[in-house]
Structure 1
Amino acid sequence: MSRTPTWLLACLTLVIGFALARVTGVRALGAVVLLAGVGWCLAREVRATPWWRLAVVVVVGAVCFVASHVLADRVGAWPSVLLCSAALGASTALLIGGRRRVAQPAGRPGWGRRATEWLLTYVGPAQIGDPRRPARAATADERAREEELRTTLVREVGPDGTTYLVERRD
C-alpha cells in the first residue's frame, strides 16, 4: 500500500466516506473516514512536502467537501462526489506530486546556497552603517589589520561547500 499515490488516497477518502455514510445512514461514520483519510495523507507526506502545500491541500479538500454538498442538488449525489473527488485528486497531484522527492546529497549544497554564494562574489557581505553617508578613508591601523589578515589567513572550501578562513600553512 505504500506505493499508492497520495492523490489517489485523497480521492478515495471522499468517495469511501460518502459511500459509508450513504449505506449506513450515519453521516458521522463518513466524517470519521474523512478525518482518517486526511490524517493518513498528512502522515505520509509530512516529511517530504512543505507545510504550506499540505495546508493548501487540506483547504482544497474542505472546499471540495462543501462543493460536493452544494452540487448534489443540481447534478445528483454520486456525480457531485465523483466530480469533487476528481478535483481534489488533481489538485493533490499538482501540489504534492505523484513521485517521491529525494533528499539533497549531504556533500553538495542546495541551489539556494549556491546562488547566495555566487551573489556574494559581486555584492559582498552585508555592510553595517548608513550607505548614504560618504565613505571615510581607512586608518593606518585598519590597513595594517587588513594586511595582517590577508597574509596570515587563507580561504578554503570544505567538502560540504562551506567556505572557511584558516591560518596559512607556509
Structure 2
Amino acid sequence: MIDIKSPDNVSTAAVVSLGLLGGWLTARETGIRPLGGVILAAAGGWAIRSWLAKTDPVTTAGLTALYVGGFGASHPLAKKIGAWPAVAAVTAVAGGAACVLSDLK
C-alpha cells in the first residue's frame, strides 16, 4: 500500500516551485516541451489537492490562476529579461503566495 501524505501536511510553496522550475528545466534539458508540461501539471494537481484541503475554493482558484498565469507570463517575460530570470521571478511570486495564503495557515 502507498502511504500518501495528507494534503494538510504538504508544503505547497515547494510543490509550486518544483512545478515551475522543474517543468522548465525538464523541457529545456530534454528538448521535449510536453514532458515539462507533465511536471507542471502533476505539481499543479498536487498543490490544488492541498489548497482545497487547507483553504477555501476562492483561494484555491486564485492560487491556481496565479500558478497557471505565472507559467504563461514567463514566456513573454523571458523575451525581456531572459528565461532563467523570468522563471525565477514567476516562481518566487507563485511560491510566495502559496506560502502566505496556504502553508502558513
Q: Is the shorter-chain TM-score for this pair beyond 0.5, marking a shared fold?
A: yes
Aligned to 1:82, what secondary structure does the other structure show? helix
In 2, the alpha carbon distance for the partners of 1:9 and 1:68 equals 18
Q: Which has the higher contact order (CA 8 A, sep 6+)?
A: 2
* 1:55 counterpart residue number: 61
- C-alpha displacement at 1:5, in angstroms? 1.7
In the alignment, structure 1 segments of 5+ residues that lack a partner are 100-170
In the alignment, structure 2 segments of 5+ residues that lack a partner are none
In 1, the alpha carbon distance for the partners of 2:89 and 2:53 equals 29
- C-alpha displacement at 1:40, in angstroms? 0.7
Larger helix percent: 2
- Which amino acid is the alignment partner of residue 95 of structure 2? G
* 2:87 counterpart residue number: 81
Percent of matched pairs sharing the same residue: 32
* 1:67 counterpart residue number: 73
Kept in 1: contact 2:10–2:50 (CA 8 A): no
The structure number with the bigger radius of gyration is: 1
Q: TM-score, normalised by structure 1?
A: 0.54
> Where in structure 1 do 4 or more consecutive aligned residues deviate above 6 Å?
none
Q: TM-score, normalised by structure 2?
A: 0.84
RMSD: 1.7
* 1:149 counterpart residue number: none
Alignment of 1:89-100 (within 5 A): 89-99=95-105
Kept in 2: contact 1:6–1:98 (CA 8 A): no
